[in-house]
């Protein structure tokens, strides 16, 4: 559990006070960017020892963290973003090496401070920066007795090009793309000139419709290779300076405008930089605001998709975990509920995250630049003087609006760390389909109708499904699920694949989905029927096998309101207004969804030994409809919850040594009665009453204080000498609160005491003190 503290934004005499607040909050690590732009002086020399400013003494800050028992995560860039000018790159680099600045579509200049990462001049400058900073970190690495446990290479690689739709089309990159295309196609392929030859640059920068589709697809795949080469070059530079035997981190960007739905764009861009690469670990970087059912659905998908491309030794981590009040502009435009950080943290830990870095944990003051640049404020950052106004610790070191709530969360995590650290989420026989090529949408020429159509279609239907209907519905129903990377592997045999997809779906993916069904698996497909390959050429492998002829997509207008009704096993389900529906003409199978006039827009078709359910309408979230579909396909939730209204997310985790826990998170603003059944056994004989905006880790078999706690309605709040403290749920004294899930029988003899199986029979808990905590006395 880490917190981001920027030493360069805090006066050196105040470093200790900030770190004291880190320790008081219970955090065990500090992360910080180390900005090149801050340490390079106007004459090009680099100060990382504090010769010119005491705050530039990087080693002193790292050592101060060590002295307080804090681990350190170093983030030296070269890009660091962090609201810094040039994203952390010195102005001199752009002045002296204009060739590193890319141009985009039609040769137009880029609108951001990005560079061509593999430009020789930029790599040479980066090597000079690494030669200055890495030797300070190398002797402080954890394997050498220090406290530096990881080093991040660059930050949010590819993000600037994505958000501006400006690919880095320098001459060097275009030539490299030409070589890659020639190798891919063993010639020119679909392009009108020899790749890399005369006229090639114009073909790439100003594409015509005849080759726009293949170019969009190929450019996305090529940039994955380019980014991987860049990160590999940075790693080599770091290793040459002695950075070995600790993980190298890669930050995955992608949230936008308070939404996590575009996040896998970052996975798509950077997957080759770390997936399958020993010693590399990726970390999420998410900013989605208030914890709601929508943002938590996005967060669940983020974690599932990241895990889908990780190896066995690459745990989930979050390198920038949004913390604080949300008032980033210090104008009271935003104020998140203080519980927001805790609710998000609990979900991530339930999904197996092993590192959470709260960003930003402590604010500060942006120092003045050492050279005048005439940009309006002359400071290191474009945010002005004060930075981190929303952070748990404010710019002047004051406890912020979210400090106490964040500290409570960290302490709760610490109490449960012994089992959270070795547990992974349990999954039902359901997998969410990850199609990374559906997220290769960062570049499209604005003048190309084909490129725009493909990007619009892919963005509308991928991932959680339009309106998040797939994922939100499954979470409300209690399903626990991971994801499968469909470009790389098939779903588990016999499992149910749920997939949000549009008209564009690669032939290889269509064939893999079809093969899964033919072999006995289930497929739930939400979206218009796939009829095109990624380059825009017709591809109807899946619909042909289903015997379905896709028809017209009818959309709502100001005078037309398409509505659908369920049929067959999907009924009863109330008539529902939708944004669009597509008419399907099936040759076999059953209609499960029609419009009010009888036009079919949902079918259930047997395929080989399995089945496919295709729902071609913009459906709202519906626990009932989607549960019936998934159960029809063969998967039931192992955890079943009943609540009077949506807002509760549950899942379970387990360890290899048999420990197990139930995670209950109430996102709503009211105390929620929740009936929970785990593996067919009711958790209690009466509904739990989960407080508003709260989360709990409930024992289903935890080893605490030498005792196996076999079940219960209280979260372990601490293990002390001779005692275990619990934080009870509301209503814990209203009936049997602990159930042995192996037998399904209560282990509470009455309503006054909580009993758990111990090594010598039973152990007794003191009577519940309303408003207090339960204390289990051992002995």
Tens digit of each residue's pLDDT (9 = 90 or more) over 376-434: 999 999 999 999 999 999 999 999 999 999 999 999 999 999 999 999 999 999 999 99
Q: What is the pLDDT of residue 720?
A: 73
Q: Is the residue at 147 inside a domain?
A: yes
Q: Domain boundary at 360, 393, 424, which?
A: 424
Instruction: Check whether residue 573 and residue 470 sit in a common domain.
Output: yes
Each residue's pLDDT tens digit, 129-179: 999 999 999 999 999 999 999 999 999 999 999 999 999 999 999 999 999
Residues 627 and 676 in one domain: no
pLDDT, tens only, 451-508? 999 999 999 999 999 999 999 999 999 999 999 999 999 999 999 999 999 999 999 9
Total domain count for the chain?
Answer: 3
Which of 7 and 700 is assigned the larger pLDDT?
7
pLDDT of residue 744: 40
CB 503 within 8 A of CB 530: yes
pLDDT category, 763, cuts 50, 70, 90? very low
Last residue within a domain, chosen from 395, 424, 453: 424
Distance CA 296, CA 292 (A): 6
Beta strands in 599-693 (DSSP E): 600-607, 610-615, 639-642, 648-654, 660-666, 672-678, 681-682, 688-690
Q: Would you say residue 759 has pLDDT above 70?
A: no
Residue 129 in any domain: the answer is no
Residue 218 resides in a domain: no
What's the pTM value of the predicted model, to 2 decimals?
Answer: 0.94
* Residue of 94, 7, 115, 1 whose CA lies nearest to 59: 7
Closest C-alpha to 320, from 703, 702, 647, 6: 6
Position 722 confidence tier, pLDDT thresholds 50, 70, 90: low
Confidence of residue 730 (pLDDT cuts 50, 70, 90): low
Structural domain includes residue 187:
no
Residues 251, 385, single domain; the answer is yes
Q: Which tokens hold the place of 302? A: 């983020």
Same domain, yes or no, for 413 and 447? no
Q: How many Å apart are CA 501 and CA 630, to the nearest integer?
A: 17
Given 379, 401, 424, the domain boundary residue is 424
Whether residue 207 is contained in a domain is answered as no
One domain, residues 264 and 411: yes
Whether residues 593 and 477 fall in one domain: yes
> Could you write out the DSSP letters of every residue in 501-570?
--SB--HHHHHHHHHHHHTT-EEEEESSPP-B-TTS-B--HHHHHHTEEEEEEEE-BTTB--EEEE-GGG
Largest CA distance in the chain: 86
For the beta carbon of residue 149, count every other beta carbon within 10 angstroms.
Answer: 18
Element (H or E) spanning 342, and its range? helix 340-350
Q: How many helices (H) and strands (E) does the chain have?
A: 18, 38
Cβ atoms within 10 Å, residue 119: 20
Average pLDDT, the chain: 92
| CA 697 – CA 474 distance, rounded (Å) | 21
Tell whether 609 and 499 lie within a shared domain.
yes
**Which residues fall within 8 angstroms of residue 754, CB to CB, at 6 or more apart?**
712, 714, 726, 732, 737, 738, 748, 765, 768, 774, 776
Kindly report the CATH number assigned to the domain that includes residue 254. Answer: 3.20.20.80
281 plus 347 within the same structural domain = yes
Q: What is the DSSP string of 569-603?
A: GG-S---EE-SEEEEEEESSSEEEEEETT--EEEE
Are residue 393 and residue 474 in the same domain, yes or no?
no
- In this structure, is residue 113 part of a structural domain? no
The domain of 329 spans 2-93+136-160+245-424
On whether both 278 and 408 belong to a single domain, the answer is yes
Contact 7, 15 (CB under 8 A): yes
pLDDT of residue 738: 39
482: tokens are 């991971």
pLDDT per residue as tens digits for the range 185-237: 999 999 999 999 999 999 999 999 999 999 999 999 999 999 999 999 999 99
pLDDT of res. 719: 82
DSSP structure string for 223-241: HHHHHHHHHHHHHHHHHHT
Q: Strand 71-75 relative to strand 29-33: parallel, antiparallel, unpaired?
A: parallel
- Two tokens at 759? 């090594």
Segment 294-342, tens digit of pLDDT: 999 999 999 999 999 999 999 999 999 999 999 999 999 999 999 999 9
Q: Facing residues of 590 across strands?
A: 604
Which of helix, strand or coil describes residue 18? helix
Phi, psi (5° rounding) for residue 198? -60, 135
Question: Phi, psi (5° rounding) for residue 677?
Answer: -120, 130
How confident is the model over 579-611, as pLDDT tens digits? 999 999 999 999 999 999 999 999 999 999 999
- Does the structure show a pLDDT above 50 at 737? no
Q: What is the H or E stretch that residue 348 is in? A: helix 340-350
Please check whether residue 223 lies inside any domain of the structure.
no
Residue 660 lies in a domain: yes
- Here the CATH number for the domain that contains residue 542 is 3.40.50.880
**Do 11 and 152 sit in the same domain of this protein?**
yes
Q: Identify whether residues 64 and 87 lie together within a single domain.
A: yes
pLDDT grade, residue 345 (50/70/90)?
very high
């Amino acid at each position: 559990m880490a917190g981001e503290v920027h030493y360069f934004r805090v006066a050196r005499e105040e470093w200790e006070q900030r770190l004291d607040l880190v320790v008081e909050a219970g955090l065990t690590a500090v992360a910080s960017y180390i900005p090149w732009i801050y340490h390079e002086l106007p004459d090009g020399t680099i100060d990382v020892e504090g010769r010119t400013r005491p705050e530039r003494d990087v080693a002193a800050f790292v050592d101060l963290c060590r002295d307080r028992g804090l681990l350190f995560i170093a983030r030296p860039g070269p890009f660091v973003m962090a609201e810094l000018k040039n994203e952390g790159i010195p102005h001199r680099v752009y002045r002296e090496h204009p060739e590193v600045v890319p141009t985009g579509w039609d040769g137009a200049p880029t609108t951001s401070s990005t560079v061509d990462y593999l430009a020789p001049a930029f790599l040479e400058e980066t090597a000079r920066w690494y030669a200055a900073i890495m030797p300070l970190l190398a002797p402080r690495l954890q394997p050498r007795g220090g406290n530096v446990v990881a080093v991040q290479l660059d930050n949010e690689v590819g993000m600037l090009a994505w958000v501006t739709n400006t690919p880095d089309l320098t001459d060097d990159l275009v030539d490299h793309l030409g070589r890659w295309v020639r190798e891919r196609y063993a010639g020119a392929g679909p392009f009108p000139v020899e790749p890399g030859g005369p006229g090639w640059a114009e073909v790439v920068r100003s594409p015509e419709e005849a080759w726009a589709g293949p170019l969009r697809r190929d450019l996305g795949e090529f940039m994955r290779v380019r980014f991987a080469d860049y990160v590999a070059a940075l790693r080599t530079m770091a290793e040459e300076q002695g950075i070995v035997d600790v993980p190298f981190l890669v930050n995955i960007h992608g949230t936008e405008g308070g939404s996590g739905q575009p996040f896998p764009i970052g996975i798509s861009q950077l997957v080759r930089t770390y997936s399958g690469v020993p010693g590399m670990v990726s970390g999420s970087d998410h900013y989605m605001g208030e914890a709601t059912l929508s943002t938590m659905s996005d967060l669940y998908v983020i974690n599932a998709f990241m895990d889908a491309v990780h190896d066995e030794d690459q745990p989930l981590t979050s390198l920038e975990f949004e913390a604080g009040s949300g008032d980033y502009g210090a104008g009271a435009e935003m104020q998140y509920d203080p519980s927001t950080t805790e609710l998000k943290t609990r979900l991530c830990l339930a999904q197996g995250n092993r590192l959470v870095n709260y960003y930003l944990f402590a604010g500060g003051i942006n120092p003045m630049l050492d050279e005048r640049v005439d940009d309006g404020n002359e400071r290191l950052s474009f945010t002005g003087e004060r930075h981190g106004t929303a952070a748990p610790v404010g710019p002047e070191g004051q406890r912020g609006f979210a400090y106490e709530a964040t500290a409570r969360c960290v302490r709760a995590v610490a109490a449960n760390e012994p089992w959270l650290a070795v547990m992974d989420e349990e999954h039902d026989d359901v997998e969410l389909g990850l199609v990374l090529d559906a997220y290769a949408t960062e570049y499209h020429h604005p003048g190309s109708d084909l490129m725009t159509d493909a990007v619009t279609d892919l963005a509308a239907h991928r991932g959680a499904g339009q309106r998040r209907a797939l994922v939100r519905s499954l979470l409300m129903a209690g399903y626990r699920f991971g994801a499968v990377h469909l470009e790389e592997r098939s779903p588990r045999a016999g499992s149910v694949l749920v997939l949000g997809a549009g008209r564009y779906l690669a032939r290889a993916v269509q064939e893999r989905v079809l093969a899964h069904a033919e072999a006995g698996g289930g497929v739930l497909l939400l979206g218009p029927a796939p009829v095109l390959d990624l380059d825009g050429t017709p591809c109807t492998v899946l619909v042909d096998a289903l015997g379905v002829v896709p028809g017209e997509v009818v959309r709502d207008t100001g005078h037309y309101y398409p509505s659908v009704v369920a049929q067959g096993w999907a009924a009863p389900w109330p008539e529902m207004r939708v944004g669009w529906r597509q008419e399907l003409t099936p040759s076999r199978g059953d209609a499960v969804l029609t419009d009010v006039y009888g036009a079919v827009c949902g079918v259930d078709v047997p395929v080989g030994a399995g089945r496919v359910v295709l729902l071609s309408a913009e459906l709202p979230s519906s626990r009932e409809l989607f549960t019936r579909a998934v159960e029809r396909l063969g998967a039931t939730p192992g955890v079943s919850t009943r609540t009077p209204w949506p807002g509760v997310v549950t899942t379970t985790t387990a360890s290899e040594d048999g420990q197990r826990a139930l995670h209950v998170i109430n996102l709503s603003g009211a105390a929620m009665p929740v009936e929970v059944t785990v593996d067919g056994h009711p958790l209690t004989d009466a509904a739990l009453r989960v407080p508003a905006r709260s989360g709990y880790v409930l024992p289903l078999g935890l080893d605490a204080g030498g005792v196996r706690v076999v079940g219960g309605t209280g979260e372990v709040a601490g293990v002390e000498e001779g005692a275990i403290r619990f934080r009870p749920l509301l209503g814990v004294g209203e009936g049997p609160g602990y159930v042995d899930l192996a037998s399904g029988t209560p282990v509470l003899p009455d309503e006054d005491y909580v009993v758990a199986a111990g090594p010598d029979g039973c152990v007794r808990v003191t009577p519940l003190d309303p408003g207090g905590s339960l204390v289990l006395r051992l002995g």
